[in-house]
Amino acid sequence: MASFSVNGRAYAAPSAPVVVVCVDGSEPGYIEAAVEAGMAPFFARVLREGTAIVGDCVVPTFTNPNNLSIVTGVSPAVHGICGNYFFDRESGTEVMMNDPRFLRVDTIFRAAQSAGSRIAVVTAKDKLRGLLGKGLDLGPGRACSFSSEKADQATVERNGIDDVLRLVGLPVPDVYSAGLSEFVFAAGVRLMESWRPDILYLSTTDYIQHKHAPGTPVANSFYAMMDSYLARLDALGCVIGLTADHGMNAKHDTAARPDIVFLQDVLDGWLGAGAARVILPITDPYVVHHGALGSFATAYLPEGVDIAAVLARLAALPGIEVALDRAAACRRFELPEDRMGDIVVVSSRHKVIGTSLSRHDLSGLKEPLRSHGGISEQGVPLVFNRRIALEPGRRYRNFDVFDLVMNRIAERIAA
Ligand SMILES: [Zn+2]
């Protein structure tokens, strides 16, 4: 494959297969704890001999905005995906943003394919597949894009590959399981062994991180699983860059109850019932493990409301870290103004934002709530199995990962 440019960045032609891994919800500390427990020998070597730093992801610290930033190299202000939902004022409806038409730029994959490279994209949940695979010319030997969730339904026409279960040698995992992520890694290894794509992107699910803190036995086992597959990709000669879409924090009180600011109820009390409309962009069809509770919300306010006064009252509420108007929030967090409400509200490290008490079904929450979405989940690992030539003092983002793994390998720069 040749070098290529996309979204204002140039990428050098790789000399070895490039593997970028987005470990969903991988708060800094998970990898280190598994290494300390002696359960992750590959990561131990990488921390010693490769490069490992903490960078910043995109706020809202949610899955889709960050996966799309990683695979485009730009912020949501440019690519347009700022959550799972936005409110369309014109139609007065809440619109799911996982349709590829909402993505405003080309992906690195599409540009790389145009330059002659072979692409493989494997995600845990199917909701991301369409966005990540947008514009790819799918087909055997060219590109494939599939999810572990719907691995059994993969077709050459839709996914560029079929018979995925036979390739991977595992059954379709349950959508709420560690197996959903293991399948992603197992598929990645088999793809690399069988047709050696030039670029392989693996994106997991944060099912484990939502339930288990860094250093706990289940978390360590999960990272040990990951370690064994990454070691195999490393042995196959791949250059690996690993990052996360967001971190993860405990979001409960001392009695292990979720610690929630019900923003719709608050605004209903101030402005009248239903006058404001709160959107929680974390909401998606798979809410069992977080009850649709995250640390970021946007709200649409009725005409004529004194926005500055509302923001001042919100900022004074316990548990609210930041309340900004649309323009200020989009500047600070690099978000698209046309897909955000009039105000943006971010809760503090151990608090989440809900709509109304009556609208959240928390019966699926079996463990004390851990979640994300806020500024407090912005730190994410950037880990490489090669030494990366970093620029001193620069703020690195998770969406620099392709640039770092393709352009900044120290031994290639020196050569
Ligand atoms: Zn995520």
Closest alpha carbon to 296 in 347, 362, 357: 347
Residue 275 alpha carbon to ligand 1 centre in Å: 31
Span 288-314, average pLDDT: 91
CA distance 108 to 72: 5
Residue 411 alpha carbon to ligand 1 centre in Å: 32
pLDDT number for residue 289: 58
* Res. 278 pLDDT band, cuts 50 70 90: very high
Residue 372 alpha carbon to ligand 1 centre in Å: 8
Residue 122 alpha carbon to ligand 1 centre in Å: 15
pLDDT number for residue 85: 83
pLDDT number for residue 91: 87
pLDDT number for residue 286: 56
Residue 80 alpha carbon to ligand 1 centre in Å: 17
Residue 280 alpha carbon to ligand 1 centre in Å: 15
pLDDT in tens, 64-73: 999 999 999 9
Q: Going edge to edge, which strands form the sheet with 18-22?
A: 51-56, 379-384, 239-243, 18-22, 199-203, 119-123, 143-147
Residue 304 alpha carbon to ligand 1 centre in Å: 36
Span 261-280, average pLDDT: 96
Residue 206 alpha carbon to ligand 1 centre in Å: 6
* Res. 288 pLDDT band, cuts 50 70 90: low
pLDDT number for residue 320: 98
Residue 153 alpha carbon to ligand 1 centre in Å: 24
Closest alpha carbon to 210 in 148, 173, 147, 252: 252
pTM over 0.85? The answer is yes
The pLDDT mean for the chain works out to: 95
Residue 24 alpha carbon to ligand 1 centre in Å: 4
Beta-carbon contacts of 254 under 8 Å, excluding residues fewer than 6 positions away, are none
Residue 246 alpha carbon to ligand 1 centre in Å: 6
In DSSP terms, which residues pair with 322 in a beta bridge?
Answer: 346
Closest alpha carbon to 192 in 340, 29, 410, 21: 21
**DSSP codes of every residue in 129-142:** HHHHTTT---BTTT
End-to-end CA distance of the chain: 20
Strand duo 343-347 + 320-325: pairing: antiparallel
CA distance 40 to 94: 43
Q: Please check whether residue 171 is in contact with residue 150, taking contact to mean a CB–CB distance below 8 angstroms.
A: no
pLDDT number for residue 92: 85
Least confident of 48-52, 105-109, 162-166, 290-294: 290-294
Span 119-137, average pLDDT: 96
pLDDT number for residue 329: 98
Residue 81 alpha carbon to ligand 1 centre in Å: 14
CA distance 96 to 206: 20
In this structure, the number of other CB atoms found within 10 A of the CB of residue 31 comes to 25
Span 162-181, average pLDDT: 94
Residue 63 alpha carbon to ligand 1 centre in Å: 4
**Is pLDDT larger for residue 107 or for residue 364?**
107
Closest alpha carbon to 318 in 267, 257, 259: 259
Span 153-178, average pLDDT: 94
CA distance 186 to 192: 10
Residue 255 alpha carbon to ligand 1 centre in Å: 26
Residue 32 alpha carbon to ligand 1 centre in Å: 20
pLDDT in tens, 218-255: 999 999 999 999 999 999 999 999 999 999 999 999 98
How would you class 4 by CB atoms within 10 Å of its CB: exposed for 0-12, middle for 13-18, buried for 19 or more?
Answer: buried
pLDDT number for residue 363: 76
Beta-carbon contacts of 145 under 8 Å, excluding residues fewer than 6 positions away, are 119, 120, 121, 122, 129, 132, 133, 136, 138, 159, 160
Closest alpha carbon to 228 in 187, 194, 186, 195: 186
Strands (E) located in 89-231? 93-96, 119-123, 143-147, 199-203
Residue 281 alpha carbon to ligand 1 centre in Å: 12
Residue 307 alpha carbon to ligand 1 centre in Å: 31
Q: Which domains does the chain have, with CATH numbers?
A: 4-247+378-414 (3.40.720.10), 260-371 (3.30.1360.110)
**DSSP codes of every residue in 146-157:** EESTTGGG--HH
pLDDT number for residue 59: 98
Question: What percent of the chain stands above pLDDT 90?
Answer: 86
* Res. 281 pLDDT band, cuts 50 70 90: confident
pLDDT in tens, 336-391: 999 999 999 999 999 999 999 888 777 777 789 999 999 999 999 999 999 999 99
Least confident of 85-99, 163-177, 199-213, 243-257: 85-99
pLDDT at 285 over 70: no
Least confident of 192-206, 208-222, 282-296, 311-325: 282-296
Closest alpha carbon to 57 in 42, 47, 69, 71: 69
Residue 230 alpha carbon to ligand 1 centre in Å: 20
Strand duo 85-88 + 18-22: pairing: unpaired
Residue 308 alpha carbon to ligand 1 centre in Å: 32
